[in-house]
Chain A
Amino acid sequence: MAQDTSTPAERSTAHVDGNALAGALALAFGTDMTTATVQCGDCDDRHRVAATHVYLRCPGMVMRCPACGATEIVLTEIRGRIGLHVRRVTAISFA
């Protein structure tokens, strides 16, 4: 298979941050998650949920590692129900 030789565009401004997920994540977890710390499953970086990069201009809501861009969580809100899909996360510690 062809190698992924791409590099992410620098200074992209297509994202917001984990604060934008406060409502959806609070519904999923029952508590505020923006202060929680996440460890990335790809690069091991530890960061607050508030500091993640979040993409909203797409079908769902995609939370990515601010250090390496890996997809950490995909959230959907379909017919009023939150769907939480954990992808590249090794640990979440609650504040």
Chain B
Amino acid sequence: MSVTAGFGGRRGDDDERLPPGQYRVDDFPVLTAGPTPLVETDSWALTVRDDQVERTWSWDEFTALEVESVTTDIHCVTHWSKFDTQWAGVSVATLLDEAGVRDDAPYAQVYCYGGYTTNLPVEDLVDRVALVAHTFDGDPLEVEHGGPARLLVPHLYLWKSAKWIRGIRLVDHDQPGFWESAGYHNHGDPWLEQRYAGD
């Protein structure tokens, strides 16, 4: 490795709101690992299940649930962070409650339209701010940012905040998702800089 004189990347910010190795952006970069999946809200559905019960909401049912709003910083493992993003949606705790799933399952698997998956401990979904968001900046969430609805778990790297969410399944055994099974960290805490397995 040798340093290229004059190249600073896009970084160089030492704001204390920035986790280590992050730089700040003002736009909202679109990251995607595949073609954007289009789903009409009339055929959209969200399922929450465990090994016993399963609950599915249509778009109208989902958007009739109690809305929670959050303003938060978000952090992508590709090094950018965006401050004060404004979201609204349904808290995951509300969805788990309404579904009546067991409250002792340790892990969650997240499924998405288009095939993406991610995994996280249930406590990251219920003890911290976690939404299935349908609104960004006061407007319906745009499809390239995960609309109609995406998971938002702002205290973890953004690959956990799965776009185009279709279901959450609670399980006893953790199973790594799309990036977690390809060398990315299983938990992904930006403040601990948990980018890659072993960090």
Residues of A within 8 A of B (CB): 1-9, 12, 14-15, 53, 55, 57-60, 62, 64, 69-71, 74, 76, 78-80, 83, 85
| Chain B positions within 8 Å of A76 at CB level | 182-184
CB-based contact A9/B38 at 8 Å: yes
Known A1-B47, A4-B37; further 4 A-B contacts with Cβ < 8 A: A64-B34, A74-B182, A79-B196, A85-B182
Chain B residues close to A by CB (< 8 Å):
1, 29-39, 43-47, 49, 54, 56, 77-78, 111, 113-115, 143, 159, 164, 166-167, 169, 178-179, 181-184, 196
**Which residue of A5, A15, A57, A79 has the most chain B CB atoms within 10 A of its CB atom?**
A5
A69 / chain B contacts, CB cutoff of 8 Å: 34-35
Contact B115 A14 (CB under 8 A): no
Q: How far is the CA of A12 from the CA of B12 in the complex (A)?
A: 33
Query: Contact: B32 with A3, CB < 8 Å?
Result: no
Which of A5, A14, A53, A60 lies in contact with B182, CB distance below 8 A? Answer: A60
Contact B30–A2 (Cβ < 8 Å)? no
Majority-rule SS of A interface residues: loop
Given contacts A9-B37, A12-B35, A55-B32, contact A4 B184 (CB under 8 A): no
Residues of B within 8 A of A60 (CB): 33, 179, 182-184
Contacts of B36 in A (CB 8 A): 8-9, 12, 14
In the assembled complex, the CB of A53 is this many whole angstroms from the nearest CB of chain B, namely 8
Q: Which of A1, A12, A53, A57 contacts B49 (CB 8 A)?
A: A1
- Taking CB atoms, residues of chain B closer than 8 Å to A12 are 35-36
